[in-house]
């Protein structure tokens, strides 16, 4: 009996203590180390990078501040050319990925049955394998003596590797998982009985796609596009390994400015511009995701 009364007595204060801690210091204590490390190792370096982009002779911060690096970066013809090419390569790859991801997510969400999980597992597995190895594997396929040139009769085709073609092919397989999953998640929320109703009302597959599937999946599609653009615009591994001089991309340009040229001013200015672009795109996607959630 005594034990029971004791535990009943303990119950209330304990619970209040728990809740009180939750309201006051608890969050601070738990979040202190992860957030503190993020501030020191993530936010501060970003600020230092921004500072460097305004310093006249980085990394010497006493040399005065200037806007010259931005002026130089934005008026340099080579930069503009590379930026334009990067956007083109990323956009073509994006179009190819959407052509694959849209039917794939439709199949996963509505048709796959017990294969749905298998496909999702396959996509995650494909995404998690070493990226450098995956890109290198395309060298083996597209090379002068690669499997494609072996399959295609006649003289070996030179432009298969170390070309824009190779970069586009490789990029469009690299981010399939990132493109498919948001679209699949959006489609998963669509009521399948809508398609049945549409069929009963005489709609064909094209009308179903245009009037039901695409409008309802649109937020997922936009989110996928935006969030795959961000890594594609800064990708330098792919164009380094399978690309050539005609496919130099923005990521390579910035990497070379910093690591080879030692030009921290121009490098950090370009880097900050890319950071700003990525940040804005990410915010837009995030807003879209939120709107989508309220609608649903």
Partner 1 sequence: MADVAGAVEPRVALGAGSVRHTANAVGWAAFLGVVALALFGPLAILVGFSLNDSSILAFPFEGLTLEWYRQALADPTLREALANSLGVALVVAPLSVILGTLAAFGLTRFRFRGRGMVGALVGAPLVLPWLIIGIAALMGYARVDLDLTLRTVVATQTICTFPLVTAIVSAQLFRFQRVQEEAAIDLGCSRLQVLRHVILPHIGPALGAAAIFAFTWSFNNYEISLFTIGFQQTFPIWVYSSVRNPDHTAVVNAVSTLISAFQVVTIWLAIRLLRSRGGGALSIVGDRAVAAGTVAEGSGVPAPVGAPR
Report the site for partner 1 in 74-113 (rule: CB under 8 A). 100, 103-104, 107, 111
- Binding residue for partner 1 (CB under 8 A) from 102, 221, 241, 248? 241
Sign of CA dihedral 85, 87, 88, 94: positive
3-state secondary structure of 230: helix
d(CA 224, CA 105): 12
155 binds partner 1 (CB under 8 A): no
Task: Sort residue 50 into left (φ over 0), alpha (ψ -120 to 50) or beta.
Answer: alpha
Number of CB atoms found within 10 A of residue 275's CB: 15
Segment lying near partner 1 (by CB under 8 A), choices 65-73, 78-86, 141-149, 210-218: 141-149
Q: Pick from 18, 57, 65, 84 the residue near partner 1 by CB under 8 A.
A: 18
Residue 115: C-alpha distances to residues 110, 118, 121 (Å): 11, 5, 10
Return the range that interacts with partner 1 (CB under 8 A); candidates 70-78, 81-89, 202-210.
202-210
Q: Which stretch binds partner 1 (CB under 8 A): 23-31, 64-72, 81-89, 209-217?
A: 23-31
Instruction: Please report whether residue 215 would count as binding partner 1 according to CB under 8 A.
Output: no
Long-range contacts of 74-77 (CB under 8 A, 24+ apart): 76/266
- Residue closer to partner 1 by CB (options 31, 80) is 31
231 binds partner 1 (CB under 8 A): yes
- Tokens found for residue 280: 């804005």
Q: What is the DSSP string of 4-50?
A: HHHHHHHHHHHHHHHHHHHHTTHHHHHHHHHHHHHIIIIIHHHHHHH
Stretch that binds partner 1, among 70-78, 81-89, 144-152, 210-218 (CB under 8 A): 144-152
Shortest distance in whole angstroms from residue 38 CB to partner 1 = 6
Applying CB under 8 A, does 5 fall inside the site for partner 1?
no
Residues 160-179 that bind partner 1 (CB under 8 A): 173, 176-178
Interacting residue with partner 1 among 13, 20, 45, 64 (CB under 8 A): 45
């Amino acid at each position: 009996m005594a034990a029971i009364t004791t535990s009943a007595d303990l119950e209330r204060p304990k619970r209040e203590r728990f809740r009180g801690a939750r309201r006051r210091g608890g969050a601070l204590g738990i979040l202190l180390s992860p957030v503190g490390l993020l501030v020191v190792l993530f936010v501060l370096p970003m600020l230092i990078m921004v500072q460097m982009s305004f310093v006249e002779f980085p990394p010497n911060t006493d040399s005065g501040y200037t806007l010259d690096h931005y002026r130089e970066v934005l008026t340099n013809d080579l930069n503009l050319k590379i930026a334009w090419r990067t956007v083109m390569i990323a956009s073509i790859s994006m179009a190819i990925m959407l052509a694959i991801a849209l039917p794939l997510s439709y199949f996963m969400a509505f048709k796959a049955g017990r294969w749905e999980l298998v496909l999702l597992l396959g996509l995650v597995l494909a995404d998690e394998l070493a990226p450098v190895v995956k890109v290198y594997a395309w060298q083996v396929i597209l090379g002068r003596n690669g499997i494609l040139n072996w399959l295609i009769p006649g003289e070996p085709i030179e432009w298969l590797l170390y070309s824009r073609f190779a970069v586009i092919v490789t990029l469009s397989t690299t981010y399939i998982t990132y493109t498919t999953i948001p679209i699949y998640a959006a489609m998963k929320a669509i009521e399948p009985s809508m398609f049945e109703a549409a069929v009963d009302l005489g709609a064909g597959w094209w009308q179903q796609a245009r009037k039901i599937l695409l409008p309802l999946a649109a937020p997922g599609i936009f989110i996928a596009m935006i969030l795959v653009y961000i890594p594609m615009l800064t990708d330098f591994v792919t164009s380094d390994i399978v690309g050539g001089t005609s496919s130099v991309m923005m990521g390579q340009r910035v990497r070379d400015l910093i690591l080879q040229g030692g030009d921290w001013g121009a490098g950090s200015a370009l880097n900050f511009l890319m950071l700003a672009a990525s940040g804005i795109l990410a915010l837009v996607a995030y807003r879209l995701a939120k709107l989508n959630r309220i609608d649903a």
